Amino acid sequence: MSTLRPLPQGATLVEEYQELRAQGFSRPQIEAGLALGLIVRARRDVYVRQTASEALVRALRIGGRLACASAAVELGLWAPSDDRLHVHVWDGSTRLRDAEDRRKRLVRRDGVVLHWKDLDAADGTRCATSVSSAVRSIARCLGVVDAIRVADSALQRGLAEHSEMQRALEGFAWNEEPAIEAVTALCGSGYETDAKLLLLAAGLAFEQQVHVPRVGIVDFVVCGCVIVEVDGREHHAATFAEDRRRDAEAILQGYLPVRVSAAWIERQPGRFIDLVRHALALHPRG
């Protein structure tokens, strides 16, 4: 018996045997598809068209769909740094299977987080919960900062409306304010969100994604005079010369540019604010 629910399809097609037959696939065609690896049988009566992510096949094999941090990855949101598989297990689903072997019962749970409650079984798709549910689960499971990182990316990438994020974060607070107050559509990556939250917590006035003539768009302008650029993990040598050009043009226009790596902020968040304050102290307008 299938564990699928009558939900819309997501980015990857997930179907029951009868649904494949109803689309005109014959039994030999389905068998051939399985043999060629074009279709994967995740568990009894749950067929996944390729190419599916490994995480999706494992979640379907267990008997659910992707939730929380794993849904964020599937849905193209900022991915929290959590390697575990987060699965929304359907209500009443008692025949859970091993993530690697559909013939075995689910016993080994290391690396797997099951989400049972507080998730709407009628939202999202067969692949994953909705963006809103993912954000709400992340707030509960991984903490509100991770949820703000993901909500920021959802807005910046046009994958959710502000009102949806407001509902998703209802009841969660950050820095003694409703968490939604910290969410903006200007941070496409978690480390930009981290820098933003540190600046907000420090009470420093700043603007984000500011266009500076001859420099281009900069990540932050703090107190109108210090430019803060956060270089992500994917930043590479190809931009070295361009980064120096931007810094030089910024100085020529009276800004003090500060460039930090995402890894550095993550390791020592307190030093980041110290750095910005020192830069402000050096600037005549700071």
Least spacing, CB of residue 251 vs Zn ion, in Å = 45
Size of the site for Zn ion (CB under 5 A): 4
How many other C-beta atoms lie within 10 A of the C-beta of residue 23?
9
Which residue in 43, 61, 86, 136 binds Zn ion (CB under 5 A)?
86
The window from 105-113, 190-198, 208-216, 256-264 that contacts Zn ion (CB under 5 A) reads 105-113
C-alpha of 6 from chain center: 26
Q: Are strands 173-174 and 177-178 parallel, antiparallel or unpaired?
A: antiparallel
Least spacing, CB of residue 212 vs Zn ion, in Å = 40
- Per-residue 3-state assignment (H helix, E strand, C coil) for 126-165: CCECCHHHHHHHHHHHCCHHHHHHHHHHHHHCCCCCHHHH
Strand partners, 216: 212
Orientation of helix 144-156 relative to helix 190-201, angle to 10° = 120
Q: Which two tokens stand for residue 6?
A: 């009558």
Q: Which amino acid is at 62?
A: I
Q: Does 71 bind Zn ion (CB under 5 A)?
A: no
Q: Does 149 bind Zn ion (CB under 5 A)?
A: no
Q: Which is nearer to Zn ion, 149 or 196 (CB)?
A: 149
The window from 47-55, 110-118, 177-185, 192-200 that contacts Zn ion (CB under 5 A) reads 110-118
Least spacing, CB of residue 86 vs Zn ion, in Å = 4
Q: Does 79 bind Zn ion (CB under 5 A)?
A: no
Q: Does 55 bind Zn ion (CB under 5 A)?
A: no
Q: What is the dihedral of CA 88, 92, 97, 99, to 10 degrees?
A: 0
Q: Does 113 bind Zn ion (CB under 5 A)?
A: yes
The window from 84-92, 94-102, 165-173, 186-194 that contacts Zn ion (CB under 5 A) reads 84-92
Which residue in 4, 60, 141, 145 binds Zn ion (CB under 5 A)?
141
The window from 23-31, 98-106, 136-144, 277-285 that contacts Zn ion (CB under 5 A) reads 136-144
Q: What SS3 class is residue 229?
A: strand
Where does this chain bind Zn ion (CB under 5 A)?
Answer: 68, 86, 113, 141
